[in-house]
Amino acid sequence: MIWNLIYRSLRQHALATLVTAASIALAAGLLLTVWVVKTQTQAVFAATNSGFDAVLGARGSKLQLVLNAIFHLEASPGNIAAKDFEMIRHHPAVKNAIPIALGDNFQGWRIVGTVPALFSDIEFLPGRHYAVRAGEKFFEIGKLEAVVGSYAAQRLGWKAGTTFRPYHGLAFNPDGEQHAEVYTVVGVLAPTNTPVDRVIWIPLEGVQTMSGHNPLAATELSAVLIQLRAPAAGLMLNNQLNASGGRLTFAYPIGSIVAELFNKIGWMDQVLTLIAWLVAVMASGSVLVSIYNSMSARARDIAILRALGARRRTVFGAVVGEAAAIGLLGAAAGFAVFAGLALFVASLIQAQTGVVLEPLKWNPVFWWGPATFVGLCVLGGIVPALKAYRVPVAETIAPVS
């Protein structure tokens, strides 16, 4: 019967129910989005290494080096000499060393020079090599050819056969210098859901010797992406190359360095989470106010129910249950808000970094978030429920004669 009472009360106060549930839905959607994007961003970014264990670059910040070489964000901390590349390439602890050079863009899409070995030798995920569509190919050394990441190709509308002239610099300036070289797209990479998808890849020497670039730096590299033969070698190289105070930075392990980024912006997560919880508390407060304000109007109905034999605990439970039901409705609708909001945020992150989040993938917050909201609503329902519990039956249903 108590379910019947709850259902009928919700139906009777449909407008208030919907408005209150909507406020909870917004709060729940916000909290779920903040939480899922936070946890998944940290996990995905920390796991994103494009198949490499470490990065070697010019002396500077490890985080900047990783963001630049792996995530294709940020400016390069500087160049390293060809002999440094040769040194690391021939190091016995190094399995693969892939040089990259950058300095150009096309309408903001970063152009990175590298070697064909990146596509032929490297697994960007265990068991997965880079691939192009049937009939397409990777670029060849010495030719003005390009391979385009899937996301960049999609946004630029490029396909095999498209030609382009690179712009100088990492940031796009329509009035800036456009190089004379005309490159032809020979392949579009299959999606990798990594930052590689946002990059236009050309032969290494293409960047090094691009018209207008400093000829004195024609052999320099922006960074070297490294696969190690064994993890222990990373610690050894870390000590060897960083502790010596030389001109190089060895960024290892990549995941830990990315985690530093999230430590630095952790305060923002905390602020967003705090805001979400404040909204949640306010939403549960709205349940309290909504039901409490209707209690005067409901007192007569409650007294009638009591006169018909309903016990105090029944009407108390019905009011608390009503609050819980509003919380459940709001939390359920909150998933819809979350789905829309999180997919939008995920698309922004993909556009900015190439990293693909899967916000709808199972996350523990999917159960404890709504459960907490329902719990808060139940707390909000206790005050009006106590008022219902105390309704004086005889005085309320009829004046004493």
Partner 1 sequence: MPLLEINDLVKTYARPAGAGVQRVVDVRTFALEAGAQLALRGESGTGKTTFLNLIAGILAADSGTIRFDGREVTTLGEAARDRLRAATIGYIFQTFNLLQGHTVLENVEFGMAFGRGVDRAYAESLLQRVGLGDKLGHFPWQLSTGQQQRVAVARALANHPKLVLADEPTGNLDRRNAREALALIREVCAESGAALLLVSHDERVLATFEQMQDFAAMNRALAGAAP
Binding residues (CB under 8 A) for partner 1: these are 1, 4, 8, 12, 300-301, 304-314, 393-394, 397-401
At its nearest, how many Å lie between partner 1 and the CB of residue 300?
8
> Which residue lies nearer to partner 1 by CB, 225 or 318?
318
Report CA 157 to chain centroid distance, whole Å: 25
Q: Which is nearer to partner 1, 282 or 394 (CB)?
A: 394
Which lies closer to partner 1 via its Cβ, residue 240 or residue 314? 314
CA distance 383 to 319: 9
Closer CB to partner 1, residue 5 or residue 189?
A: 5
Residue nearer to partner 1 on the CB measure, 12 or 263:
12
Least Å distance between CB 398 and partner 1?
A: 6
Report d(CA 122, CA 53) in Å as an integer: 12
> Min. distance of Cβ 386 from partner 1 in angstroms?
16
Instruction: List, in order, residues 6 or more apart from 363 with CB less than 8 Å away.
Output: 35, 36, 39, 40
Min CB(307)–partner 1 separation in Å:
6
Whole-number minimum distance, CB 308 to partner 1, in Å? 6
| Residue 247 or 311 having the CB closest to partner 1 | 311
Shortest reach from residue 284's CB to partner 1, in Å: 25
Whole-number minimum distance, CB 396 to partner 1, in Å?
A: 10
Residues 6+ apart with CB under 8 A from 334: 24, 25, 26, 27, 28, 29, 31, 32, 369, 370, 373
Exposure letters 111-142 (e unless 16+ CB within 10 A, then b): bbbbbbebbeebebeeeeebebeeebebbeee
Decide whether 1 or 134 has the Cβ nearer to partner 1. Answer: 1
CB of 385 to partner 1, least distance (A): 17
Q: Minimum CB separation from partner 1 for residue 291, in Å?
A: 15
User: Residue 113: beta bridge partners?
Assistant: 101, 202
- Pull the structure tokens for residue 126: 């265990």
Q: How far is the CB of 309 from partner 1 (least distance, A)?
A: 2
Cα atoms found within 13 Å of the Cα of residue 400, Cβ hemisphere only:
4
For the record, the structure tokens of 32 come out as: 């779920």
